[in-house]
Structure 1
Amino acid sequence: MKKSSRLIAGLVGLAGLTLAAAAGAQEKPTPGGTLNMIAQPEPPMLMVGLNTQGPTLYVGGQIYQGLLSYGKDLKVLPSLAKAWEVSEDGLTYTFTIQEGVKWHDGKPFSAEDVVFTADKFLREAHPRWRYIANTYIESITSPSPDTVVFKLKRPFSAFLYAFELSSFPVVPKHVYDGTDYRTNPANQTPIGTGPFKFKEWKRGSYIHLVKNEDYWKPGMPHLDELYFRIVPDAASRAVAFEKGTVDVLRGGDVEGFEVRRLSKLQGVTTTTDGWEMYSPLVFMQWNMRKAPFDNKLVRKAIMHAIDRDFIVRNVWFGLGKPAVSPFASTTRFFSDDVSTYPFDLAKAKELIAQSGVKPQEHTIRLMPIPYGTQWDRMAEYVKQQLEQLGFKVDIRAVDAGGWSQALSEWDFDITFNFTYQYGDPALGVARHYLSTNIIKGTPFANNEGYQNPAVDELFLKAASAVDEAEAKAAYAEVQKMITDDVALGWLFEQRNVTIMRDKVKNLVRTGIGVNESMDDVWIAK
């Protein structure tokens, strides 16, 4: 494998490393059994290529697969691609795909599916991939049935991080080519290459997946079936785990105080592993197209009016860390040399006075993300703080689909969001601030409408750098600019805990955690 620079060399890893080897030696798996989990909230759909909300990825990750996966150390691991090469100039990436892979409908998987996914489906439907494809990719070809070649216009140091499940779910060409992707009936009965096949979705009750008997990894999956239970009430979810109705609780499934209690139960194991690739960061997102959020002094005032330490301690029960930057502190190129906004209500009121805005003339619609009572409590706290600045605030409650649609169509004043950083700021961070990513149709782009040509230029410079020092300098400068502009209201870095029965083996093996294909998960008898 050829490597074009120190920066690219740090990304490549070992192409031959298998997920089983990365996980280390295991006990001998026991075949069979049912794993019960929770989908919270109930996802709007399971088609990962069209929706990348957390619940969709959790369930859809067992149906669809990406070309690559990533270890807890962010080393690149094989998935549908078994090997890859990078040219010395960093412009050509060649992937060799796995042999003997079939779609769930029995049709053979080939490199043509990958080309279709990259050059047509995701280029139209996926905001992160659309940006990558339009900015960096010159051509995508398949010189042979098992080979896909990406030629870039310019170096893109984060390119090998762009192929996990949520960024690059490979979809079947024979099902989607020539159709309206968003209305294709297969969106309701998803067809992938993963270890489990879609069986049934009883709305409001459960999603049922069953073992893929033709799965491309010999002897896998070990489990016979998966159930993702729909339990709207947080207290009921805790009871379901305590009584053994469900075997796994994902981060966010129960309240913070319940995490502490349930973790201490006999026969229970916990881990905070499996979020290394994502490093989720929670923020307030305001619509800068309209008053009062088009005024930078107002945005600065709101930041000073929010006590992020209070939110972490009292709303999230310590499961987080106050954020100071658009970059999570756990990710590459993080810098704390930025504009900061310590809690200071007097300072906040002073800035409001300087802004010229009359708060009493504005009624702000605050739309919480509908992922549980902790988010609702945080909305109540933010409402209280905004009202102390003189604003009128109406909380607008929506379901998961309504939140996604409203944010995607820019029909909001202020909301909460949390997004994944994907191992590199060029993938998980830049999308929120690039003016070229002000696009309707997704809740995970530049929905606030932020525009700064200097920021655009710095992100492009950093992503195209082949020298790590050059990238670091550009990213440090971009963090200074964005925090001074207060493009978003950064709140805290999430710390998620996965809780499981001791009998559940090998659940969290990689840096994408429970979104990873559960082909090597088993239940001890």
Structure 2
Amino acid sequence: MKLELSFKLVLASLAVAAALPLGAQAQTRGGTLNMIVQPEPPVIVTAINQQAPTQFVAGKIFESLFTYSADLKPQPSLAKSYDVSADGLTYTFHLQDGVKWQDGQPFTADDVVFSLADMLPKTHARARVLLNQFVASVAKTDDLTVVVKLKSPFPAFLLAFEPGFAPIMPKHIYAGTDYMTNPANQKPVGTGPFIFKEWKRGEYIKLVRNPNYWKAGKPYLDELVFNVIPDSASRAVAFERGSVDVLRGGDIDNVDVKRMRALPNVQYTTAGWEMFSPQAYLLMNMRKPPFDNVKVRQAVMAALNRKLIVDNIFFGLGKPSTGPLVATEMFYDKNTPPLDFSMKKARELIKESGIKPGDYTIRQLAFPYGATWDRLGEYVKQALEQLGFKVDTESTDAGGWASRTGNWDFDITLNFTYQYGDPALGVQRLYVASNMVKGSPFANVQGYNNPEADKLWNQAASEVDKAKRQELYTKIQTMLVTDVANGFLLDLEYPTLYRGKVHNLVKTAIGLNESFDDVYIDK
């Protein structure tokens, strides 16, 4: 199966654009783009940490084989083209020539092999599932060609190569080291258009233009500054005053979005999330009472009014979830039997469970992503207290939350994760027993264990017939809702607000996690 025509057209357009003089493209060179990163990430290497702030910053430093159009078609990045064998088991990636790491070393197929076969299967919670389960071998045929052989067909495979999911890491820096403690984690080196310059903890992260970037003439900006502003009201003021140019979803309280959108010369979009399709949910630690009891989990879900959450806490930026797949995800089934809001039913389920809520003090680990999440945590606390539980909320920062959640040190906590276009990539990882591993908050940290569901997940991931895949994923959705494998809350919608002087900000399905090599600002 040869490279798709659309991919060839993109390559042709890139070649034409590169040949044009800078003035013909109307881009302005230079300038600083001021943004916000919140909460402040513990590290900015996506191979080590996959929290949203990490992906936002690291996407400008690290690259993967592809990026993706809004309809989730792969577009050239470190791979300029690819071939797929007729049986769907062999993928050949043809790499860009002349790419260098930011320390001047050449980028080659060895880096891709090292990343996919060695580092990511050990350090990356999402990639681990895919690479360990489906990849039989990764090898180079020459310095610019990598061949990946799969154990079985995996229709979602080509969606797995954006920089947050499969960042290509420098073998010459990481090979033979402890990946988690390598000094480069603090001063990352990638192939991207921006180079790490400075991280003043609690104030800002600064990246500067890569003068040797492999795309001729790019990037256009001189500098990216990610400001750390802990208070959401202060972030809103910073945007109003013009000291920051971009607001990501979650940077300000949802209640302020309408007011910010109405400011002069402010642009607004909800595009750029097509790859991610984020979902918010309540994690209940099933390894111990009371949440090892399915009736208790069902009671909690019945006690949570998801429409109220969307309307009154997220101010309409989202939709109530009906199960483990968001409505925009492939194979979503709108007919999945719902767990409707009913305090009466919730109390009946508590009685059926046989537990006495007053015997338990629930430790709620606060989710440190802003005031909206604080209010959601307060609402969850109130709902559990109405069922008779005592609830203590324990605060922490983003790093502490990631560590404690990844090590199962909580009773309940909130989270949101990206679904990555296909359930085999972004959803399966949260529920299969094989990904019940400590160290990442984006694995099966709640402890859901259902061998029947695991079998269905594996069948669905390898099934090439779309109708049969739908049947399997429909069964999975019903099973996970019945088991309350997670507390499914809402399909999130994220707005981006930015100054009219900023151009080319959101152009692909990964939105603000892009490299920004094409972004420019009017002088």
> Under TM normalisation by the shorter chain, which class is it?
over 0.9
2:83 equivalent among 82, 85, 99: 85
Q: Does 1:15 align with 2:16?
A: no
Determine the structure 2 residue equivalent to 1:46: 44
- Identical aligned residues as a percent: 55
Describe how 1:126-145 pairs up with structure 2 within 5 A. 126-145=124-143
TM-superposed deviation, 1:394: 0.4
TM-superposed deviation, 1:18: 3.3
CA contact (8 A) 1:63 1:194 kept: yes
What CA distance in whole angstroms lies between the structure 2 residues aligned with 1:170 and 1:229?
A: 26
Q: 1:265 to 1:13 in 2, by over 3 A?
A: farther
The DSSP-based 3-state class of the residue aligned with 1:14 is helix
Determine the structure 2 residue equivalent to 1:457: 455
TM-superposed deviation, 1:27: 5.6
Letter in 1 for 2:454: D
Letter in 1 for 2:245: D
What CA distance in whole angstroms lies between the structure 2 residues aligned with 1:469 and 1:13?
A: 26
The DSSP-based 3-state class of the residue aligned with 1:406 is helix
What CA distance in whole angstroms lies between the structure 1 residues aligned with 2:12 and 2:284?
A: 43
CA contact (8 A) 1:14 1:76 kept: no
Letter in 2 for 1:177: A
Determine the structure 2 residue equivalent to 1:106: 104
1:58 equivalent among 56, 59, 64: 56
CA contact (8 A) 1:312 1:321 kept: yes
1:183 equivalent among 181, 184, 199: 181
What CA distance in whole angstroms lies between the structure 2 residues aligned with 1:19 and 1:460?
A: 35
CA contact (8 A) 2:339 2:481 kept: no
Determine the structure 1 residue equivalent to 2:211: 213
TM-superposed deviation, 1:96: 0.5
TM-superposed deviation, 1:104: 0.6
Determine the structure 1 residue equivalent to 2:490: 492
Q: Structure 1 length as normaliser, TM-score?
A: 0.96
1:264 equivalent among 241, 262, 268: 262
TM-superposed deviation, 1:19: 8.4
What CA distance in whole angstroms lies between the structure 1 residues aligned with 2:13 and 2:280?
A: 33
Determine the structure 1 residue equivalent to 2:465: 467
Determine the structure 2 residue equivalent to 1:391: 389
CA contact (8 A) 2:2 2:82 kept: no
Determine the structure 2 residue equivalent to 1:426: 424
Determine the structure 1 residue equivalent to 2:503: 505
What CA distance in whole angstroms lies between the structure 2 residues aligned with 1:111 and 1:230?
A: 36
Range with greater deviation from structure 2 (331-340 or 477-486) = 331-340
What CA distance in whole angstroms lies between the structure 2 residues aligned with 1:58 and 1:72?
A: 18
2:475 equivalent among 471, 474, 477: 477
What CA distance in whole angstroms lies between the structure 2 residues aligned with 1:508 and 1:200?
A: 25
What CA distance in whole angstroms lies between the structure 1 residues aligned with 2:453 and 2:464?
A: 19
1:447-505 CA distance string (max 9 Å, x none): 01111111111111111011111111111111011111111000001110000000000
TM-superposed deviation, 1:123: 1.1
TM-superposed deviation, 1:28: 1.2
What CA distance in whole angstroms lies between the structure 1 residues aligned with 2:150 and 2:336?
A: 33
Determine the structure 1 residue equivalent to 2:153: 155
What CA distance in whole angstroms lies between the structure 2 residues aligned with 1:151 and 1:342?
A: 45
Q: 1:430 to 1:310 in 2, by over 3 A?
A: same
Q: 1:20 to 1:353 in 2, by over 3 A?
A: farther
TM-superposed deviation, 1:13: 7.1
Q: Does 1:328 align with 2:320?
A: no
Determine the structure 2 residue equivalent to 1:6: none
The DSSP-based 3-state class of the residue aligned with 2:290 is coil
CA contact (8 A) 1:410 1:447 kept: yes
Letter in 1 for 2:8: G
Q: Does 1:241 align with 2:233?
A: no
What CA distance in whole angstroms lies between the structure 2 residues aligned with 1:74 and 1:347?
A: 41
What CA distance in whole angstroms lies between the structure 2 residues aligned with 1:21 and 1:446?
A: 42
TM-superposed deviation, 1:20: 10
Range with greater deviation from structure 2 (367-376 or 280-289) = 367-376
TM-superposed deviation, 1:257: 1.6
Which ranges of structure 2 fall in alignment gaps of 5 or more residues? 18-23
Which ranges of structure 1 fall in alignment gaps of 5 or more residues? 4-11
CA contact (8 A) 1:15 1:84 kept: no
The DSSP-based 3-state class of the residue aligned with 1:42 is coil
Letter in 2 for 1:271: T
Q: 1:484 to 1:21 in 2, by over 3 A?
A: farther
Letter in 2 for 1:459: W
Determine the structure 2 residue equivalent to 1:174: 172
What CA distance in whole angstroms lies between the structure 1 residues aligned with 2:303 and 2:146?
A: 51
Determine the structure 1 residue equivalent to 2:279: 281
What CA distance in whole angstroms lies between the structure 2 residues aligned with 1:393 and 1:73?
A: 43
Q: Does 1:301 align with 2:270?
A: no
Letter in 1 for 2:378: E
CA RMSD of aligned residues (A): 1.5
What CA distance in whole angstroms lies between the structure 1 residues aligned with 2:120 and 2:9?
A: 27
How many residue pairs get aligned? The number is 516
Q: 1:488 to 1:13 in 2, by over 3 A?
A: farther
The DSSP-based 3-state class of the residue aligned with 2:372 is helix
Describe how 1:363-402 pairs up with structure 2 within 5 A. 363-402=361-400
The DSSP-based 3-state class of the residue aligned with 1:90 is coil
The DSSP-based 3-state class of the residue aligned with 1:341 is coil
2:335 equivalent among 331, 334, 337: 337
Letter in 1 for 2:142: S
Determine the structure 1 residue equivalent to 2:520: 522
Q: Structure 2 length as normaliser, TM-score?
A: 0.97
1:183-225 CA distance string (max 9 Å, x none): 1000000000000000000011110100000000011000000
What CA distance in whole angstroms lies between the structure 1 residues aligned with 2:247 and 2:464?
A: 41
Letter in 2 for 1:484: T
CA contact (8 A) 2:11 2:80 kept: no
TM-superposed deviation, 1:66: 0.9
Q: 1:338 to 1:31 in 2, by over 3 A?
A: same
1:252-308 CA distance string (max 9 Å, x none): 000112111010111100100000000000000110001000000000000000001
Determine the structure 1 residue equivalent to 2:20: none
Q: Does 1:409 align with 2:401?
A: no
